[in-house]
Chains A and B, each alone.
Chain A
Amino acid sequence: MAGRFQKEEGGGVSEGAGLRTRSEPAALPCNGLASRRTLLKASAVAAGAALLTACGGDGSSPATTRPRGITVTDQRGKTIVFDKPVTRAVTIPIPAASMLIAIDGSADRLVGMQDASWTAIRDGIMGTMFPVALKVTHDVANEEFAPNVESILALSPDVVVQWGDHGSEIITPLENAGLTVLGLSYGTQADLTAWIRLFAAITGKPDRGRAMLTQINAQLRNVRSVGSAERGTPPKILYFLRYADGLEVAGTDTYNDYYIALVGATNPATGTKAVQGFAAVDVEQVLAWDPDIILLGNFDSALPDDVYRDDVWRAVSAVRARRVYKVPFGGYRWDPPGQESPLMWRWLSDIAFPMQSGTASDLRARIVSSYQFLYRYTPTTSQIDDILWTDVNSGSVHYRELFAG
Chain B
Amino acid sequence: MQTTLKISMLLMALVVTGAALSSADEGRLKIATTSSLYDTGLLETIVDKFTEENGATVQIPSHGSTGIAIAAGQKGDVDLLIVHDKAREVKFIQDGDGLERRCFAYNYFYIVGPADDPAEIKGLNASEAFQSIMENGLNQPDQVKFITRGDQSGTHSKEQSLWKAAGYNYSEVNISGPWYVDAGSPMGATLIMANEKSAYTLTDMSTFMAYKGNLTLVPLIEGGDELLNVYSAIAINPEKHPGVNCRLANDFIDYLVSAECQEIIGTYGQEQYGKPLFFKGEDSCDVMGCSAEECVVPTQAGCAEA
Q: Do A and B come from one complex?
A: no
Spell out A's residues near B (CB within 8 Å): none
